[in-house]
Amino acid sequence: MNVEEYRTYCLSKEHVTEEFPFDNDTLVFKVAGKMFALANISEFVSINLKCDPEKAIELRDRFPAVLPGYHMNKKHWNTILLDGSIPEKLLKTWIDDSYLNVINSLPKREKAKFFPL
């Protein structure tokens, strides 16, 4: 997955915005104003994804390319090295999981604004 494929995939999800809140290199994707993915686009060698805490530990144990979130809350974020060891399909699944993790953590009222029944 290259940076454009990553960007296109993240933006294909409902109500996703992109911004550079930290610097000119760190592209952040948000849903409902909350981060679910970020990466340095100048040196696209890893991505950070939000993750269920138990699953985060499991993924780190199973995959050498999955590390505790760099500059993030290590309980809730993983850094995935884009070294070719993780299949693109699995990366997309983890991006989906991160996106859903944020949506499912929203209070009902906030969630209803973005995802009405």
Q: What is the pTM of this model?
A: 0.93
> Taking the domains of the chain in order of start, what are their residue ranges?
3-112
Alpha-carbon gap, residue 117 to 38, rounded angstroms: 29
Q: In the numeric block, which tokens belong to residue 85?
A: 């060891």
Angle CA(37)–CA(80)–CA(115) in degrees, nearest 5? 25
Asked if pLDDT for residue 93 goes beyond 90, the answer is yes
The CA-atom distances, in angstroms, between 115 and each of 75, 81, 91, 105, 106 are: 27, 32, 24, 13, 11
Q: What is the pLDDT of residues 41-91, one digit of tens each?
A: 999 999 999 999 999 999 999 999 999 998 888 999 999 999 999 999 999
CATH class of the domain whose range is 3-112: alpha beta
Hey, is 38 helix, strand or coil?
strand
| Closest CA relative to residue 41, chosen from 29, 25, 56 | 25
